[in-house]
Amino acid sequence: MTTKQRIPPRDRDGVLQALRAGVVPRRGLQYVQVGRAREVEALIKDIDRIADGGSGTRFVIGDFGAGKTFFLSLVRSVALEKGLVTMAADLNPDRRLYGSGGQARSLYNELTRNIATRTRPEGGAMASVVERFITTALQQSKASDQPVEAILQDRLHSLSELVGGYDFAQVIENYWRGHDQGNEQLKADAVRWLRGEFNTRTDARQALGVRTIIEDDQVYDGLKLLSRFVRLAGYGGLLICLDELVNLYKLPHATARNTNYEQILRILNDTLQGQAEGTGFVFGGTPETLLDARRGLYSYQALKLRLSENTFAAQQGLQDFGGPVIRLANLSPEDLYILLTKLRHVHAGGDADKHVLPDSALPAFLAHCNQRIGAAYFQTPRNTVRAFLDLLSVLEQHPELDWQSLIEDIEIGQEPNTELDEDEQAPSATPAADDELTSFRL
């Protein structure tokens, strides 16, 4: 990052406020990304394969605070730049891949609300995707002198081979009618159906003339339909990011866990066998979520077989980036030093003359962290980052203070213990005592 590069105030404030509040920023990730070069390279290859009509599933595994959520956000940004559509959601007890009480449909709602394109990176791009499909059909109609309805039916015909494809195509045609007739209500109802927001089939039939809605047992089928549709609309494919896989691991009932693991197995099989063209999934989870033989993914034998690490690489202490599991490597001391220099530069708005800390303060700060909590601060840099930003904020407001004495007074928090009790009683998915710590995934 050059000292002449100015950072827009919106990006600067967004990055700093998000990191200090304990969340990953939605904007400005490029200003603070360090390390993870081989991991990023592996996911870029996946994105390119998806854009070429392939598919894939990855499991990004790392400790709490190791950078999973940040990494997933970075991957989504890359996918958007390469012309893919992205969807993202955090799994929790009320948002699962499978459920009998609306939990799966709730996950689908969240994913479709967060659907994003390069021109709508913040989400809410469902209508934009449909509009692009309609626009290309109109252009094709003018070029070929054919009716728009005939072109729409021809282009949507391939959806009929998928579960729910006929009604999906009918909903898109309804959106076109609303577009053609200036009927905004019909367009809004079509988007509501695509987002899975109709609660009953009766309401959907009255509004759109279709007999089905997205229900708990049809969520993955709905995602496959969306994936094919975005390719028909001219996008490269669909990347779906599901974070907080640990919340499936924490489900107290074995039946609930296993039914969700069955859905993961179905996704994994489809993407590995090429039956989900132009579709990619990225899951974020902790090591226990993967490795625990009683509750984790390894407790489901079929998943264990597919997700087991490469023994040849493991024997040499290496990681196989061609497998479905990517373990986030610890940040090196050099990486963390670079991260602090980038944070200082962002805090100054990209103006080196406005740095509130000299270069000599950075190694002093890192040495203090090492003395306080040892090498663990390289593995989970979350608390180190927050303490550093707090230090910058104080010095900005009180420039007369001595940074050396402030560093000596800084307390660096420890990471929470995430192990389960021996009786397998799962802790609360969002324990109040740990809210401040567990919410941040840098």
Distance from C-alpha of 215 to C-alpha of 212, rounded to nearest angstrom: 9
Alpha helices in 82-125 (DSSP H): 103-113
In degrees and rounded to multiples of 5, residue 429 shows phi and psi of -65, -25
Q: Determine the Cα–Cα distance for residues 260 and 279; give it in Å rounded to an integer.
A: 19
Assigned token pair, 106: 């709730």
**How buried is 215 (Cβ within 10 angstroms: 0-12 exposed, 13-18 middle, 19+ buried)?**
middle
In the chain, where are the structural domains located? 32-125+218-327, 333-409
User: For the chain, first and last CA: distance in Å?
Assistant: 20
Long-range CB contacts (< 8 A, 24+ apart) of 334-340? 335/34, 335/35, 335/378, 336/34, 336/366, 336/377, 336/378, 336/381, 336/384, 337/362, 337/363, 337/366, 338/34, 338/35, 339/32, 339/34, 339/381, 339/385, 340/365, 340/366, 340/388
Which residue has tokens 């709602």?
109
**Given 3.40.50.150, 3.40.50.300, 3.40.50.261, 3.40.80.10, which CATH number is that of 32-125+218-327?**
3.40.50.300
323 DSSP assignment? S
pLDDT score for 369? 79
Spatial neighbors of 85 by CB under 8 A, at least 6 apart, are 115, 116, 117, 125, 129, 230, 235, 237, 238, 239
Residue 413 has what pLDDT?
Answer: 53
pLDDT of residue 313: 77
Contact predicate 164/218, CB 8 Å? yes
At residue 387, the pLDDT reads 85
The pLDDT tens digits along the chain (442 residues) read 444 568 999 889 999 998 888 788 878 888 898 878 899 999 999 999 999 999 999 999 988 877 888 899 999 999 999 999 999 999 999 999 999 899 999 999 999 999 999 999 999 999 999 999 999 999 999 999 899 999 999 999 999 899 999 999 999 999 999 999 999 999 999 999 999 999 999 999 999 999 999 999 999 999 999 999 999 999 999 999 999 999 999 999 999 999 999 999 999 999 999 889 999 999 999 999 999 999 999 999 999 999 998 888 777 777 888 899 999 877 778 888 999 999 999 999 999 999 999 999 999 988 887 777 665 555 567 778 888 999 999 999 999 999 988 887 766 554 444 444 333 444 433 333 333 333 333 3
Give pLDDT, residue 418: 41
Q: For the chain, how many residues are written?
A: 442
> CB-hemisphere CA count at 13 Å for 411?
2
pTM of the model: 0.84
Res 417: pLDDT: 44
- 324 close to 57: Cβ distance less than 8 angstroms: yes
